[in-house]
Protein backbone atom coordinates (compact mmCIF):
# COMPACT_ATOMS: atom_id res chain seq x y z
CA UNK A 1 0.00 0.00 0.00
CA UNK A 2 1.32 3.41 -0.91
CA UNK A 3 0.28 6.53 0.99
CA UNK A 4 0.01 9.89 -0.67
CA UNK A 5 2.37 12.68 0.34
CA UNK A 6 -0.29 14.72 2.23
CA UNK A 7 -1.53 11.66 4.12
CA UNK A 8 2.01 10.62 5.06
CA UNK A 9 2.84 14.09 6.36
CA UNK A 10 -0.47 14.30 8.22
CA UNK A 11 0.17 10.99 9.98
CA UNK A 12 3.70 12.00 10.89
CA UNK A 13 2.52 15.38 12.20
CA UNK A 14 -0.25 13.69 14.18
CA UNK A 15 2.27 11.37 15.85
CA UNK A 16 4.53 14.27 16.83
CA UNK A 17 1.57 16.36 18.00
CA UNK A 18 0.25 13.47 20.08
CA UNK A 19 3.56 13.09 21.91
CA UNK A 20 3.85 16.84 22.52
CA UNK A 21 0.31 17.20 23.85
CA UNK A 22 0.32 14.12 26.08
CA UNK A 23 3.78 14.77 27.54
CA UNK A 24 2.55 18.22 28.54
CA UNK A 25 -0.61 16.69 29.99
CA UNK A 26 1.31 14.11 32.06
CA UNK A 27 3.63 16.83 33.41
CA UNK A 28 0.59 18.87 34.46
CA UNK A 29 -1.11 15.80 35.90
CA UNK A 30 1.97 14.99 37.98
CA UNK A 31 2.11 18.55 39.35
CA UNK A 32 -1.63 18.69 40.06
CA UNK A 33 -2.35 20.66 43.20
CA UNK A 34 -6.14 20.67 42.99
CA UNK A 35 -6.57 17.34 44.76
CA UNK A 36 -7.92 15.47 41.75
CA UNK A 37 -4.80 13.46 40.93
CA UNK A 38 -3.48 12.97 44.46
CA UNK A 39 -5.29 12.76 47.78
CA UNK A 40 -4.24 14.43 51.02
CA UNK A 41 -1.64 11.73 51.70
CA UNK A 42 -0.12 12.24 48.22
CA UNK A 43 -1.41 8.88 47.01
CA UNK A 44 -2.58 8.67 43.38
CA UNK A 45 -6.36 8.71 42.94
CA UNK A 46 -8.54 6.97 40.38
CA UNK A 47 -8.51 10.17 38.35
CA UNK A 48 -4.71 9.96 38.13
CA UNK A 49 -4.67 6.32 37.04
CA UNK A 50 -7.39 6.75 34.42
CA UNK A 51 -5.69 9.76 32.88
CA UNK A 52 -2.26 8.18 33.02
CA UNK A 53 -3.69 5.15 31.20
CA UNK A 54 -5.19 7.45 28.57
CA UNK A 55 -1.82 9.14 28.13
CA UNK A 56 0.06 5.85 27.77
CA UNK A 57 -2.43 4.55 25.20
CA UNK A 58 -2.14 7.85 23.32
CA UNK A 59 1.66 7.60 23.38
CA UNK A 60 1.46 4.13 21.85
CA UNK A 61 -1.10 5.12 19.22
CA UNK A 62 0.80 8.32 18.41
CA UNK A 63 3.98 6.32 17.97
CA UNK A 64 2.28 3.80 15.67
CA UNK A 65 0.57 6.48 13.58
CA UNK A 66 3.74 8.60 13.43
CA UNK A 67 5.81 5.59 12.38
CA UNK A 68 3.38 4.81 9.55
CA UNK A 69 3.59 8.44 8.43
CA UNK A 70 7.39 8.46 8.67
CA UNK A 71 7.64 5.30 6.59
CA UNK A 72 5.28 6.80 4.03
CA UNK A 73 7.34 9.99 3.75
CA UNK A 74 10.56 7.99 3.53
CA UNK A 75 9.10 5.73 0.81
CA UNK A 76 7.96 8.74 -1.22
CA UNK A 77 11.44 10.26 -1.10
CA UNK A 78 12.99 7.04 -2.47
CA UNK A 79 10.64 6.81 -5.45
CA UNK A 80 11.14 9.21 -8.34
CA UNK A 81 8.20 11.47 -9.14
CA UNK A 82 6.99 11.42 -12.74
Which CA distances in Å does 14 have to 3, 7, 62, 78?
15, 10, 7, 22
Does position 2 have pLDDT exceeding 90, yes or no? no
Q: How far apart are CA 58 and CA 66, in angstroms?
A: 12
Closest to 8 measured CA to CA, from 71, 50, 60: 71
| Mean pLDDT, range 23-32, rounded to an integer | 92
Residue 35: band (very low, low, confident or very high) from pLDDT cuts 50, 70, 90: confident
| Residue 72 CB neighbours (<10 A) | 21
Amino acid sequence: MKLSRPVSWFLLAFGVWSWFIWITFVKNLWKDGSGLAFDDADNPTGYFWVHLTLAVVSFVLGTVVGTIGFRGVRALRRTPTP
